[in-house]
């Protein structure tokens, strides 16, 4: 197990805490705005981010970040599309709000970094780590959640673009098979040299992060 820079670990945990918590809040807020009372019933339309964390998922975030990579999850947003004013498209927007929230967070970190003069100005400082991690981690969270495998946001978004019958089979497949495919890919990457997630995610994460960092 490699030693992780304490400054990196602290800033990464902070960014992940905000990134995951605000991601789940965005789901709940948009669903609530669309007329769905479910998130409010469970007390989830709140900026108290601790309400949006799953204990086991939070423990995984801490442990894996301290070992050099961050994997974990928040508490799934409780939403009922049938109670929304426009069930299909309101639900689409509520699901899309999570990844979009991560992009907006990355954009805020990038704006602050630009105003501070860029990476060369802030250097390898606490602020430098915080702003850099704020961009890269949030972009990674966005693309990770867009993977079209259950239970990630991507599988809901793809399904909502399908006709009703294929959509039903798509959701059933993801509940019964897709979720295990996702966990299998994650475990394969952690236990072997076959980093499938990195191969899939790193090119778009790297490209968008570089755009925000001003490296192009």
Nearest to 74, CA basis, from 36, 38, 22: 22
Residue-wise pLDDT for 39-92, tens only, equals 999 999 999 999 998 776 666 666 655 555 556 667 889 999 999 999 999 999
The three-class DSSP label of residue 49 is helix
Reading the block at residue 148, the tokens are 């079209």
Residue-wise pLDDT for 195-214, tens only, equals 788 888 889 999 999 999 88
Nearest to 77, CA basis, from 112, 42, 117: 42
Are 141 and 209 in contact by the 8 Å Cβ rule? The answer is no
For 76, what's the count of Cα atoms within 13 Å in the CB-facing half-sphere?
Answer: 8
Are 120 and 132 in contact by the 8 Å Cβ rule? The answer is no
pLDDT band for position 184 (50/70/90)?
A: confident
Residue-wise pLDDT for 144-154, tens only, equals 899 999 889 99
Are 45 and 24 in contact by the 8 Å Cβ rule? The answer is no
Decide if pLDDT at 97 tops 50.
yes
């Amino acid at each position: 197990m490699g030693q992780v820079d304490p400054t990196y670990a602290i800033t990464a945990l902070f960014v992940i805490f905000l990134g995951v918590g605000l991601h789940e809040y965005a789901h709940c807020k948009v669903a609530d705005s669309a007329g769905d009372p479910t998130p409010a019933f469970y007390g989830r339309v709140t900026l108290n981010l601790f309400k949006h964390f799953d204990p086991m998922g939070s423990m995984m975030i801490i442990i894996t970040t301290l070992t050099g990579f961050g994997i974990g999850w928040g508490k799934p947003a409780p939403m009922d599309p049938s109670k929304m004013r426009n069930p299909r498209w309101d639900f689409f927007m509520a699901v899309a709000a999570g990844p979009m929230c991560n992009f907006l967070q990355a954009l805020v970190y990038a704006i602050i970094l630009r105003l501070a003069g860029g990476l060369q100005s802030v250097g390898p400082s606490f602020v430098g780590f915080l702003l850099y991690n704020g961009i890269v981690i949030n972009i990674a969270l966005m693309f990770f959640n867009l993977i079209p495998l259950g239970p990630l946001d991507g599988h809901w978004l793809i399904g909502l673009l399908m006709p009703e019958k294929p959509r039903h089979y798509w959701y059933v497949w993801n509940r019964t098979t897709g979720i295990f495919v996702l966990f299998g890919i994650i475990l394969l990457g952690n236990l072997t040299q076959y980093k499938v997630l990195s191969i899939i995610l790193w090119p778009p994460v790297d490209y968008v992060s570089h755009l925000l960092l001003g490296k192009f």
